[in-house]
């Protein structure tokens, strides 16, 4: 670091104020019912996405969102709100576990160290968190409640009639009433099929290198999101969460949220709801039928063949003897392909005829059944009816294999090849002449009447694969007895993972917890569930724990939850800021859990986050994404050493709009540093000995009208810009303010006082320090700056007696005149027509029209 002389003594006062805030618990906030808490004040819950405390520490991207929320928090406090602004640690996860494997050190040790480092770095930025509410997802007092919430899911089912989760006991009662002679195991089976947390043997994404399964959301291009290792599909018995039951609500209940439209559409897209119909095709010569899902049932008359996914259970039965060898070879070949190869769009379609036929229920035609890997086992029913005339993929396949193409939709205009849009039904018997929309409806009714199918809705969203073969995660509160799972009771929580010397993957599908033999087997012979929860579990509800982090009785205190999560919309947290990378993972999972907790009556809102803002990415100075390999990563500590925390905060906010992606610039950092130094010198001057003292230019004097205009314009702009998170323009206005007062001989203390308060949320250390120093001479600086009420602007200062009017001729700027404010239209137009420019320009021409906007513009239209 350079030893260059600092422009103002931030290295002295920044740590000083951080200490003061910590000692005085300046930013601590209580809960309703606590001594000194005023529940009549409005509340503001402003939340950052809590970080995973990695070994690398913070980079300059972290403080961007954190500073934005901090400005809001400080501002709202000055506006008289009770502000909940907490921070914590999402500390379970793979990196700590892999570090443990490498070093032999328990993951908790590295976690504690990493958290200490992160916290120290955050505190150096001067963020006004209430650290008495700090939480850590790896703390047994925290994850006991994560496990407790899992039990709520386990002990609930989704009632499709009410579209709500209900206790499983109610379902048990229903079943017993309708099955008076039902067996105990019959009941168990029934309940286990309906729990929101259930066990299923399902094809999963298995990553051999990581030794664990992954959720669909964690697999990118056939590789693990973490590490980029190959992922293969294999069937395994796993815990699943029934998120698909909530698919419609997860779409519909987005409507009331103040989220970016792009994130809402990302979620809708991910859930992928599509409406259509299921159609049953009887298999020729067999008792079976093939069910397909289609969004275009109106094209049923155009179905000329069928395709089954290679994994479809009926493939074996349908295949004829002479086709068996070819089909078996094809299936074996497909099974060897990775997901990446299978979904490669560029490749040619492949497939094999099974030898079997099905009957089209609407016209009783016999159509061939094929097997092809362009049909996915995991979507719909794993089988399709192929309509090559009106589906691109079927068209391509039919062309390659010489299958019949039949057109059943008349396009609005001439089109060649395949037509996938809406039109009018043709060659379709009773559908002929109907528009696509009407035809869809008519055929759906027909299918239902003839028992050949029904209306149906399909989703891309799959149930959430919730178990991982890892050590460093929440153990399940589940034991197994006689091949059946059982929930532990709430009193048995938390289930703490056993100490292990060896965290390595077992090399098989067995989780590392299997190595803790003593822990695994209970006294009565029952064995523990060996999987752990995925990293997303802890972050699904942490915003609730912040409300009452030390509550021993409940995961969140009821009264406090109602106070902090209340609001005008369906969501509780007033402002949630974080990166877009969590658009479909964390944000979808957290909404899902929250809805269950809401259905069961544990929380008072149906959505967790009312307003969501995504901060943009900060690029390196080379305009590239910051990464170790590019060597363009910047550490906030270095910026703070050189320029101070206030400069870091201010620069991050001045770079541009919060939501934009933008490159870092050291020259830009210098710019805001200079600005802060100018603020400092507005109040302070350096004497002969190099000691800073209050500037003699700061005096008790009333600001003149021009100065008052700047003061009030700044109050207005900064206030409005903070509310709309437009921090860059708020800072610009404060720069204009400072430029105005830099060169005046006499600096009114009132002006300086206002500036310091406005600047306080942005640069809290500098404003605190100046406030304190000035208080030694001037009584209007008494008290703590953070306790001052936010200034109010007076419009009357912003209005001047004279206004400048823009003169246009045919919409082009020609001149400007200054006139009395609120001059009436006629007089103004008269004045305009008399100006030399307009006189010359209109000479010999006809004035067609004069457009006048009072106090702003006059546009003369001539011909």
- Interacting stretch for RNA, rule CB under 7 A, among 17-25, 108-116, 199-207, 339-347? 339-347
Q: Which is nearer to RNA, 479 or 682 (CB)?
A: 682
Contact between 306 and 369 (Cβ < 8 Å): yes
Q: Which is nearer to RNA, 66 or 664 (CB)?
A: 664
Sign of the C-alpha dihedral, residues 371, 376, 377, 383? negative
- Interacting stretch for RNA, rule CB under 7 A, among 231-239, 523-531, 534-542, 657-665? 657-665
Residue 1 burial (C-beta neighbours within 10 Å; 0-12, 13-18, 19+): exposed
Q: What is the largest CA-CA distance in the chain?
A: 109
Task: Report, in Å, the least distance between residue 503 CB and RNA.
Answer: 29
Q: Which residue in 699, 587, 554, 548 sits closest to 31, CA to CA?
A: 548
Q: Which is nearer to RNA, 604 or 808 (CB)?
A: 808
- Interacting stretch for RNA, rule CB under 7 A, among 31-39, 290-298, 321-329, 586-594? 290-298
- Interacting stretch for RNA, rule CB under 7 A, among 59-67, 447-455, 755-763, 806-814? 806-814
Element (H, E) at 459: none
Contact pick of 16, 119, 349, 406 for RNA (by CB under 7 A): 349
Contact pick of 228, 272, 285, 705 for RNA (by CB under 7 A): 272
Q: What Cα–Cα distance (Å) separates residue 191 from each residue in 157, 199, 242, 245, 510?
A: 8, 12, 13, 16, 27
Contact pick of 816, 821, 825, 845 for RNA (by CB under 7 A): 816
- Residue ranges in 80-139 that form contacts with RNA under rule CB under 7 A: none
Concatenated DSSP letters for 637-693?
HHHHHHH-HHHHHHHHHHSS-TTS-EE--HHHHHHHHHHHHHHHHHHEEE-TTS-EE
Task: Report, in Å, the least distance between residue 525 CB and RNA.
Answer: 43
Q: What Cα–Cα distance (Å) separates residue 502 from each residue in 97, 513, 622, 817?
A: 10, 10, 43, 83
Q: How many CB atoms lie within 10 A of CB 583?
A: 22
- Interacting stretch for RNA, rule CB under 7 A, among 22-30, 112-120, 360-368, 803-811? 803-811
Print the binding letters for residues 137-166 with RNA: x by CB under 7 A, - otherwise: ------------------------------
The yes or no reply on residue 420 touching RNA (CB under 7 A) is no
Identify the three-state secondary structure at position 498: coil
Q: Which is nearer to RNA, 391 or 561 (CB)?
A: 391
Print the binding letters for residues 3-42 with RNA: x by CB under 7 A, - otherwise: ----x-----------------------------------
Q: Which is nearer to RNA, 166 or 349 (CB)?
A: 349
Contact pick of 20, 202, 232, 266 for RNA (by CB under 7 A): 266
- Size of the residue set binding RNA (CB under 7 A): 80
Phi, psi values for residue 236, rounded to 5°: -150, 160
Contact pick of 661, 695, 750, 842 for RNA (by CB under 7 A): 661
Task: Report, in Å, the least distance between residue 767 CB and RNA.
Answer: 18
Task: Report, in Å, the least distance between residue 451 CB and RNA.
Answer: 20
Checking DSSP bridges between strand 571-573 and strand 607-609, what pairing results, if any?
parallel
- Interacting stretch for RNA, rule CB under 7 A, among 262-270, 352-360, 631-639, 686-694? 262-270
The yes or no reply on residue 855 touching RNA (CB under 7 A) is no
The yes or no reply on residue 295 touching RNA (CB under 7 A) is yes
The yes or no reply on residue 274 touching RNA (CB under 7 A) is yes
Q: What is the CA radius of gyration of the chain?
A: 34
Q: How many CB atoms lie within 10 A of CB 84?
A: 24
Distance CA 537, CA 543 (A): 12
- Interacting stretch for RNA, rule CB under 7 A, among 337-345, 463-471, 587-595, 827-835? 337-345
Q: Which is nearer to RNA, 115 or 731 (CB)?
A: 731
The yes or no reply on residue 384 touching RNA (CB under 7 A) is yes
Strand intervals (E) in 309-346: none
Q: Which is nearer to RNA, 185 or 743 (CB)?
A: 743
The yes or no reply on residue 862 touching RNA (CB under 7 A) is no
User: What is residue 303's DSSP assignment?
Assistant: -
Contact pick of 713, 806, 817, 823 for RNA (by CB under 7 A): 806
Task: Report, in Å, the least distance between residue 347 CB and RNA.
Answer: 6
Through-space distance between the first and last CA atoms of the chain, rounded to whole angstroms: 68
- Interacting stretch for RNA, rule CB under 7 A, among 133-141, 244-252, 379-387, 406-414? 379-387
The yes or no reply on residue 376 touching RNA (CB under 7 A) is yes
Strand intervals (E) in 129-180: 135-136, 156-159, 164-167
Q: Which residue in 164, 212, 93, 218 sits closest to 584, CA to CA?
A: 218
Task: Report, in Å, the least distance between residue 378 CB and RNA.
Answer: 7
Q: How many CB atoms lie within 10 A of CB 450?
A: 11
Residue 509 burial (C-beta neighbours within 10 Å; 0-12, 13-18, 19+): middle
Q: Which is nearer to RNA, 500 or 833 (CB)?
A: 833
Task: Report, in Å, the least distance between residue 209 CB and RNA.
Answer: 21
- Residue ranges in 831-850 that form contacts with RNA under rule CB under 7 A: 837, 849
- Residue ranges in 614-653 that form contacts with RNA under rule CB under 7 A: none
Residue 138 burial (C-beta neighbours within 10 Å; 0-12, 13-18, 19+): buried
Q: Which are the contacts of 852, defined by CB distance < 8 A and separation ≥ 6? A: 825, 828, 829, 858, 859
Q: Which is nearer to RNA, 72 or 805 (CB)?
A: 805
- Interacting stretch for RNA, rule CB under 7 A, among 154-162, 191-199, 375-383, 408-416? 375-383
Asked if omega into 494 is within 30° of 0 (cis), the reply is: yes
Distance CA 168, CA 174 (A): 10
Print the binding letters for residues 577-616 with RNA: x by CB under 7 A, - otherwise: ---x---x--------------------------------
Task: Report, in Å, the least distance between residue 852 CB and RNA.
Answer: 9
Q: Which residue in 666, 780, 578 sits closest to 65, CA to CA?
A: 578
Print the binding letters for residues 693-732 with RNA: x by CB under 7 A, - otherwise: ---------------------------------x-xx-xx
Distance CA 695, CA 686 (A): 8
Distance CA 692, CA 30 (A): 39
> Which residue carries 């939850």 as its tokens?
561
Q: Which are the contacts of 344, defined by CB distance < 8 A and separation ≥ 6? A: none
- Residue ranges in 187-226 that form contacts with RNA under rule CB under 7 A: 220
> Which residue carries 């320029």 as its tokens?
643
Contact pick of 9, 57, 282, 657 for RNA (by CB under 7 A): 657
Contact pick of 245, 487, 677, 766 for RNA (by CB under 7 A): 677
Contact pick of 51, 302, 382, 791 for RNA (by CB under 7 A): 382
Residue 564 sits at the vertex; the CA angle it makes with 563 and 565, to the nearest 5 degrees, is: 100
- Residue ranges in 733-792 that form contacts with RNA under rule CB under 7 A: 735-736, 739, 742-743
Phi, psi values for residue 42, rounded to 5°: -70, 155
- Residue ranges in 434-463 that form contacts with RNA under rule CB under 7 A: 458, 460
């Amino acid at each position: 670091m350079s030893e260059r002389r600092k422009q103002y003594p931030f290295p002295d006062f920044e740590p000083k104020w951080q200490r003061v805030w910590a000692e005085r618990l300046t930013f601590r906030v209580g809960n309703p019912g606590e001594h000194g808490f005023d529940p009549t004040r409005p509340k503001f819950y402003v939340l950052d996405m809590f970080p995973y405390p990695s070994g690398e520490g913070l980079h300059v991207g972290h403080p961007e969102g954190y500073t934005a929320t901090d400005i809001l928090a400080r501002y709202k406090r000055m506006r008289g709100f009770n502000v909940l602004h907490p921070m914590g640690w999402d500390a379970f996860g793979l990196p700590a576990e892999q570090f443990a494997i490498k070093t032999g050190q328990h993951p908790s040790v590295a976690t504690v160290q990493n958290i200490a480092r992160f916290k120290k770095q955050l505190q150096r930025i001067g963020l006004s968190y209430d650290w008495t509410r700090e939480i850590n997802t790896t703390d047994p007092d925290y994850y006991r409640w994560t496990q407790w919430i899992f039990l709520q899911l386990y002990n609930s089912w989704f009632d499709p009639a009410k579209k709500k989760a209900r206790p499983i006991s109610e379902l048990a009662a229903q079943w017993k009433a309708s099955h008076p002679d039902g067996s105990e195991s019959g009941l168990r089976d029934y309940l286990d099929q309906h729990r929101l947390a259930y066990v299923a043997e399902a094809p999963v994404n298995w990553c051999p290198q990581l030794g664990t399964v992954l959720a669909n959301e964690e697999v990118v291009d056939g590789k693990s999101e973490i590490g980029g290792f190959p992922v293969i599909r294999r069937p395994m018995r796993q815990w699943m969460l029934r998120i698909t039951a909530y698919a419609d609500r997860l779409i519909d209940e987005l409507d009331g949220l103040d989220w970016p439209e792009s994130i809402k559409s990302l979620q809708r897209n991910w859930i992928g709801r599509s409406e259509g119909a299921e159609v049953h095709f009887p298999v020729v010569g067999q008792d079976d039928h093939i069910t397909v899902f289609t969004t275009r049932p109106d094209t049923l008359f155009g179905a000329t063949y069928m395709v089954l996914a290679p994994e479809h259970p009926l493939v074996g039965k349908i295949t004829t003897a002479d086709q068996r060898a070819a089909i078996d070879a094809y299936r074996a070949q497909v099974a060897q392909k990775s997901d990446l190869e299978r979904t490669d769009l560029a490749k040619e379609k492949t497939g094999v005829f099974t030898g079997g036929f099905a009957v089209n229920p609407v016209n009783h035609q016999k159509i061939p059944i094929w097997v092809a890997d362009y049909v996915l086992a995991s979507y719909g029913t794993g089988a399709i009816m192929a309509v090559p005339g009106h589906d691109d993929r079927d068209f391509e396949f039919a062309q390659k294999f010489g299958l019949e193409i039949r057109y059943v939709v008349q396009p609005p205009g001439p089109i060649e090849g395949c037509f996938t849009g809406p039109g009018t039904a043709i060659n379709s018997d009773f559908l002929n002449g109907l528009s696509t929309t009407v035809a869809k409806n008519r055929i759906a009714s027909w299918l239902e009447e003839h028992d050949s199918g029904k209306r149906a809705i399909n989703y891309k969203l799959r149930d959430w694969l919730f178990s991982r073969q890892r050590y460093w995660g929440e153990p399940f509160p589940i034991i197994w007895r006689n091949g059946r799972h059982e929930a532990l009771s709430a009193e048995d929580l938390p289930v703490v993972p056993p100490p292990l010397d060896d965290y390595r993957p077992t090399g098989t599908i067995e989780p590392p917890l299997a190595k803790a033999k003593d822990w695994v087997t209970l006294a009565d012979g029952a064995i523990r569930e060996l999987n752990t929860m995925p990293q997303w579990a802890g972050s699904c509800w942490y915003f609730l724990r912040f409300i009452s982090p030390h509550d021993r009785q409940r995961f969140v205190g009821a009264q406090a939850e109602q106070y902090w999560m209340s609001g005008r919309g369906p969501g509780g947290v007033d402002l949630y800021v974080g990166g877009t990378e969590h658009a479909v993972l964390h944000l979808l999972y957290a909404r899902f859990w929250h809805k269950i907790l809401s259905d069961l009556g544990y929380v008072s809102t149906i959505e967790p986050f009312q307003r969501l803002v995504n901060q943009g990415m900060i690029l390196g100075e080379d305009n590239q994404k910051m990464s170790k390999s590019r060597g363009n990563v910047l550490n906030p500590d270095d910026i703070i050493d050189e320029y101070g925390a206030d400069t870091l905060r201010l620069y991050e906010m001045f770079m541009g709009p919060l939501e934009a992606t933008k490159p870092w610039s050291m020259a830009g950092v210098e710019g805001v540093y200079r600005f802060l130094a100018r603020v400092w010198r507005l109040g302070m001057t350096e004497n002969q000995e190099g000691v800073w003292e209050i500037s003699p230019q700061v005096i008790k004097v009333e600001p003149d009208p021009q100065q008052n205009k700047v003061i009030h314009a700044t109050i207005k702009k900064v206030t409005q810009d903070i509310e709309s998170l437009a921090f860059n323009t708020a800072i610009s206005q404060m720069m204009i303010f400072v430029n105005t007062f830099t060169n005046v001989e006499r600096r009114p203390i009132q002006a300086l006082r206002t500036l310091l308060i406005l600047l306080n949320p942005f640069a809290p250390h500098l404003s605190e320090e100046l406030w304190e120093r000035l208080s030694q001479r001037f009584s209007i600086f008494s008290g703590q700056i953070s306790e001052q009420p936010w200034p109010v602007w007076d419009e009357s200062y912003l209005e001047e007696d004279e206004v400048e009017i823009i003169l246009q001729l045919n919409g082009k700027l020609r001149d400007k005149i200054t006139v009395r404010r609120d001059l009436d239209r006629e007089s103004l137009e008269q004045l305009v027509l008399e100006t030399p420019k307009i006189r010359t320009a209109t000479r010999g021409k006809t004035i067609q029209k004069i457009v006048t906007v009072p106090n702003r513009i006059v546009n003369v239209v001539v011909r």
